[in-house]
Structure 1
Amino acid sequence: MVGDILLKIIFVVNSLEFFISHRLPIAITARDCGYTVHIASMGSVEVEKIKNYGFVHHRVPFTRRGQNPFVEFRAFIYLYRLFKDVQPDLVHLITIKPVLYGGIAARMARIKSVVVAITGLGTVFIAQTKMAIIRRRLISLMYNLAIGETATVIFQNLDDRNILLKFCRLKLKQVRIIKGSGVDLDSYRLSPQHQGVPVVVMAARLLRDKGVFEFIEAARILRLRSVPLKMRLIGEIDQGNPTSVSESEMELWRKEGVVELIDYSKNIPHQYAAANIVCLPSYREGLPKGLVEAAACGRAVITTDVPGCCDAIVPGVTGILVPVRNATALADAIQDLIERPLKRKKMGEAGRKLAEQEFGIKKIVEQHMNIYKELLTDA
């Protein structure tokens, strides 16, 4: 709300489930401030839930894998027509396809205020193969077309910011840093350490790039070392993602029994409360929400020394960094914290303080609201 004018915001996101888990508090606050909130995404069983919040939902024909150029072009045309019809005062684009397609569509529709959320650049910007270099050039070109010289770009870490400043025609004045999606400190409470056999949890989408295979291999190593612990892998197969774990691989792991396989649970606070250590051996992230949630619960974290992951902890204080794609180093770090309970307890307590200082949802929402007000006041 600027003055007495009712303003319209459209959030564009690939997955409605991702929006609910990572951006819903921002939309609710925008609604409570008097904005009319529209959400454009793929279809989902969660649509009615979104409507119950008083939001308008638009179904966009996004596809997960995006191999048919005609289907992809249809999603772009839909967004252009949506922007022309709704005439939003501000568009907030979240995740890769909405950023690329929605950014170009917003420029063509002459939307003055555009916010682009870069939730992670992926490994294509660090890989050095010939194919990766070609893809990097193509994606950089598309980012240039999508972002332009007026959009405000939110990064979750400095590494991603610096990469796009290098490869795209971004100006420093367009850039903001907001550390992740935040955590509800009331839902994720500091809880006493689990007693008994130590429990190590990894909760993530079951993708190769999340470090799932390294987690399994670390469990095998620790079993051979006879380290007393339980390791739990919480997540679901992502059928639409080419790097997803397969059902046959899951079945082999079930038979092997080195980890407990648990379907994704919405009650992650309970899972972290029942754990002593939380792992995420990912290859690259924006700023992983799971690690922030683990810190809020007072759990020591073990993660990889890569962009995004290293930004979610204070190395040696709230958690341990290990080399990426290194199951032995991961196993060594887990064993160290298993054998040193006082160390992991102190790390967990420090993690809670870090979450309170840096990652509370109220702070994250306030930073977004300030950007909206700044853009809409200047528009």
Structure 2
Amino acid sequence: MKAVLFANTDWYLYNFRRSLAMSLLRAGYDVLLISPDGPYGPRLRELGLRWEPLPMERRSLNVLRESALLLHLVRMLRREQPDVVHGFTIKCAVYGSLAAKMAGIPARINAVAGMGYVFTSDQLKARLLRPVVRGLLKLALGGEQGRLILQNSDDVKLFRQAALVEPAHIRLIRGSGVDCGKFAGNSPRKNREGATRILLASRMLWDKGIGEYIAALRLLRNRGYTVQAMLAGTPDPGNPAAIPEQTLREWVDEGTVTWLGHVDDMNALLASVDIVVLPSYREGLPRTLVEAAACALPLITTDVPGCREVVADGVDGLLVPVRSVEPLAQAMRQLLDDPALARRLGEAARTKARNYFDERIVIERTLGVYAELCGPGQEARQRRYG
């Protein structure tokens, strides 16, 4: 059996899907990873995985360039003749599925982690693209040999209501999985000297709620609270919602936040903080919250799809309204004023992470989807539906 895993960055494949790729290898699959070129491709090869770069630009709307990409994918799939093509994110789902159909590869798995810029932004460009993307999704995702993996129940409901894919072909698998055991040694900091350390770790995008985070920190400071606030992550030049680096540096210069940039060792960073915040506008299932939960850290996030899959308000974290500043500041004050509550929420978060979001659970369920399409009887199904 052969599988092609297609993502819009090599960073994503390395950080979120290398465990799946290694599990597929152990299960006997020949695995090919494809993405735009980048520094993580060689690191995937060092693990013994096959990786090839693609001539893909994430923000491109140029018809000629996009047609060339699709043709490149078709030729690659005809050369490789995989049994299944597995695409991640909306663009890869659309292009990977269309290319697979054109190359005669019937089995397609698509994992859409959140609805992305086109569906979350109110910008004119996003609104204009929305019906086009909906049409392409419906064309690409259909078929008896297609499966769509979604990360939260809200997205499952949305896709069913939009009739983008046959409901029987949707699978709910919560997240890409986190190695909770890697974070097992971390625990909430006790009696640590210095100001409470608050972290927001994500791509530096406006729709991660970073503007609201900065405004809430200013409110805390004006009300006499002293915290050490941090941002971890980099702007995403392929995303129209990227925060300009100049804006980030202005926040640093005014003393509101420390910007750490890209962080390789999230384990060490999470071991050094007290509270994790993610006031996102919408998510698939946010990995940063699951990693923080595995460390028994108290979480503050928004009551939106994806985030509320990880946090139940008052049980294993705190939920605040989306795009809100005052409630976000109040939630941070609540944890600062009540360390016992922070510890209780953190311990409950760790239990949930182990029981629902550990990578062993996610990979087992994902391999189950592969078995549906590539298990015994596959050839007969292909003759029937191909």
Q: TM-score, normalised by structure 1?
A: 0.94
Is the Cα–Cα contact under 8 Å of residues 36 and 55 in structure 1 kept in the other structure?
no
SS of 1:222's partner is helix
5+ residue gaps, structure 2: 379-386
Instruction: Give the direction of change, closer, same or farther, for the CA distance of 1:276–1:128 in structure 2 (3 Å limit).
Output: closer
2:183 aligned partner: 188
Is the Cα–Cα contact under 8 Å of residues 120 and 286 in structure 1 kept in the other structure?
yes
Is the Cα–Cα contact under 8 Å of residues 201 and 233 in structure 2 kept in the other structure?
yes
Give runs of aligned pairs for residues 6-155 of structure 1, distance below 5 A. Answer: 7-122=1-116, 124-125=118-119, 134-150=128-144, 151-155=146-150
Is the Cα–Cα contact under 8 Å of residues 149 and 169 in structure 1 kept in the other structure?
no
CA deviation vs aligned residue, 1:234-270 (integer Å, no higher than 9, x gap): 1112233221111221221121011111122111111
Q: Distance in 1 between matches of 2:239 and 2:119?
A: 19
Residue 369 of structure 1: CA displacement?
A: 1.1
Is the Cα–Cα contact under 8 Å of residues 134 and 164 in structure 2 kept in the other structure?
no
Q: Distance in 2 between matches of 1:289 and 1:154?
A: 16
Instruction: Give the direction of change, closer, same or farther, for the CA distance of 1:78–1:318 in structure 2 (3 Å limit).
Output: same
Q: Which moved more, 1:163-172 or 1:139-148?
A: 163-172
Paired residue for 2:258, among 234, 249, 260?
Answer: 260
SS of 1:186's partner is helix
1:168 aligned partner: 163
Residue 134 of structure 1: CA displacement?
A: 4.5
Q: Which moved more, 1:273-282 or 1:126-135?
A: 126-135
Counting matched residue pairs gives 373
Instruction: Give the direction of change, closer, same or farther, for the CA distance of 1:213–1:41 in structure 2 (3 Å limit).
Output: same
Instruction: Give the direction of change, closer, same or farther, for the CA distance of 1:282–1:56 in structure 2 (3 Å limit).
Output: same
CA deviation vs aligned residue, 1:133-169 (integer Å, no higher than 9, x gap): 5433211100011111221000001111111222234
Q: Which moved more, 1:318-327 or 1:167-176?
A: 167-176
Q: Which moved more, 1:189-198 or 1:334-343?
A: 189-198
Give runs of aligned pairs for residues 285-364 of structure 1, distance below 5 A. Answer: 285-364=283-362
Instruction: Give the direction of change, closer, same or farther, for the CA distance of 1:129–1:256 in structure 2 (3 Å limit).
Output: closer
Aligned residues with identical type, % of pairs = 34
1:177 aligned partner: 172
SS of 2:371's partner is helix
CA deviation vs aligned residue, 1:255-296 (integer Å, no higher than 9, x gap): 101111112211111111111110001111100000000100
Residue 52 of structure 1: CA displacement?
A: 2.4
SS of 2:57's partner is coil
Q: Distance in 2 between matches of 1:168 and 1:160?
A: 12
Q: Which moved more, 1:192-201 or 1:217-226?
A: 192-201
Is the Cα–Cα contact under 8 Å of residues 142 and 166 in structure 2 kept in the other structure?
no
SS of 2:306's partner is coil
Instruction: Give the direction of change, closer, same or farther, for the CA distance of 1:167–1:192 in structure 2 (3 Å limit).
Output: closer
Residue 128 of structure 1: CA displacement?
A: 7.7
Residue 55 of structure 1: CA displacement?
A: 2.1
CA deviation vs aligned residue, 1:43-62 (integer Å, no higher than 9, x gap): 11222222222222222111
Q: Distance in 2 between matches of 1:169 and 1:259?
A: 42
Instruction: Give the direction of change, closer, same or farther, for the CA distance of 1:269–1:72 in structure 2 (3 Å limit).
Output: same
CA deviation vs aligned residue, 1:79-135 (integer Å, no higher than 9, x gap): 111111110011111112211111111112221211010111136446788876543
Is the Cα–Cα contact under 8 Å of residues 80 and 108 in structure 1 kept in the other structure?
yes
Whichever residue aligns with residue 242 of structure 1, its letter is: P
1:275 aligned partner: 273
Instruction: Give the direction of change, closer, same or farther, for the CA distance of 1:339–1:190 in structure 2 (3 Å limit).
Output: farther
Q: Distance in 1 between matches of 2:264 and 2:272?
A: 14
Whichever residue aligns with residue 353 of structure 1, its letter is: T
Q: Distance in 2 between matches of 1:341 and 1:292?
A: 21
Q: Distance in 1 between matches of 2:31 and 2:119?
A: 33
